[in-house]
Amino acid sequence: MNLSALRVACSNCNLREACLPTGLTLKEIERLEDLVAARRRIKRGDALFRAGDRFENLYAVRLGFLKSTVMSSDGREQVTNFFMAGEMIGFDGIASGVHSSDVFALEDTEVCVIPYARLEDAATSMRSMGAHVMKLLSREIVRQHGVMLLLGSMHAEERLAAFLLSLSQRFEQRGYSRSEFVLRMTRAEIGSYLGLKLETVSRVLSRFSHDGLIEVNQKHVRIFDPEGLRAIVSGVPLPSEVEMPRTSVG
């Protein structure tokens, strides 16, 4: 475990607007900086936490990309989510006191460690923070509903189109290009998340490329026709519209 003892200055963080309640005074922001115990660096392939680990902290992603997975009864790994900078990880442990999933870094990653006890105290003493925490939990519920809709009612082409549009929105909200980005996950991991076979993911991406909707070069993706992808989704709400908790601290 690599922890940095450097004081986290949320007031100077470029992700501040994505994580803190709006309308805070500088004094209130400085008080919330005390929520962050440390920063932790996770090497690519290493775990942030594992299923069964005691729940003590939430983690706000500053840099990098991660995935969460659960193990099925027959020993297969199921990808349940992907996380990028500006998003919060660890809500799965609140109910039972232990984490129910494994979270691994897909690239070198840095997170802010937020002890849950401190967050509870802040939510109790600061009304705006309490309301913000409720919003985070509500967004997590809505995100899960969106994933269920994606898996339960969409065909393979719709799932891939919705997934690419979701990533596009998430990158844009963080100041990056919405039309050109790198997939940090493998096609097999995308298939696991979307409930599709690896061969199906590759075939559909090739079809999108052939139809001029996108260009794929290894993990590099360029979206040429976002409206064409939206037409494929056929009016079903995009996962990005329900799973975008822009949450980070520091």
Residue ranges of domains in the chain, CATH in brackets: 2-148 (2.60.120.10), 153-240 (1.10.10.10)
Per-residue pLDDT tens for 109-136?
Answer: 999 999 999 888 888 887 777 777 788 7
Q: Exposed, middle or buried by CB within 10 Å (0-12, 13-18, 19+), for 118?
A: middle
Query: CA-to-CA distance for 215 and 224, rounded, in angstroms?
Result: 7
Tell me the average pLDDT of the chain. Answer: 83
Scanning the structure block, which residue is given the tokens 């949320």? Answer: 10
pLDDT at 124 (0 to 100): 85
Q: At what angle do helices 226-233 and 156-173 cross, to 10 degrees?
A: 130
Q: Please state, for a pLDDT cut of 90, what percent of the chain lies above it.
A: 50
Highest mean pLDDT among 47-56, 111-120, 136-145: 47-56
Q: Is the pLDDT of residue 70 over 50?
A: yes
pLDDT at 49 (0 to 100): 97
H and E: helices and strands count for the chain: 8, 12
Query: Bigger pLDDT: 207 or 154?
Result: 207
Q: Is the pLDDT of residue 150 over 50?
A: yes
Q: How confident is the model at residue 14 (pLDDT cuts 50, 70, 90)?
A: low
Q: How far is CA 85 from CA 153, 171, 209, in A?
A: 29, 9, 28
Q: Is the pLDDT of residue 236 over 80?
A: no
Per-residue pLDDT tens for 180-228?
Answer: 999 999 999 999 999 999 999 999 999 999 999 999 999 999 999 999 9
Q: Please state which of the ranges 8-17, 78-87, 184-193 shows the lowest mean pLDDT.
A: 8-17
pLDDT at 131 (0 to 100): 79
Question: What is the mean pLDDT of the segment spanning 33-58?
Answer: 92
Query: CA-to-CA distance for 9 and 249, rounded, in angstroms?
Result: 9
Query: CA-to-CA distance for 209 and 46, rounded, in angstroms?
Result: 33
Beta bridge partners of 38: 113
Phi and psi based region of residue 104 (left: phi greater than 0; alpha: psi -120 to 50; beta: remaining): beta
Alpha-carbon Rg of the chain, whole angstroms? 18
Q: How confident is the model at residue 12 (pLDDT cuts 50, 70, 90)?
A: low
Q: How confident is the model at residue 7 (pLDDT cuts 50, 70, 90)?
A: very low
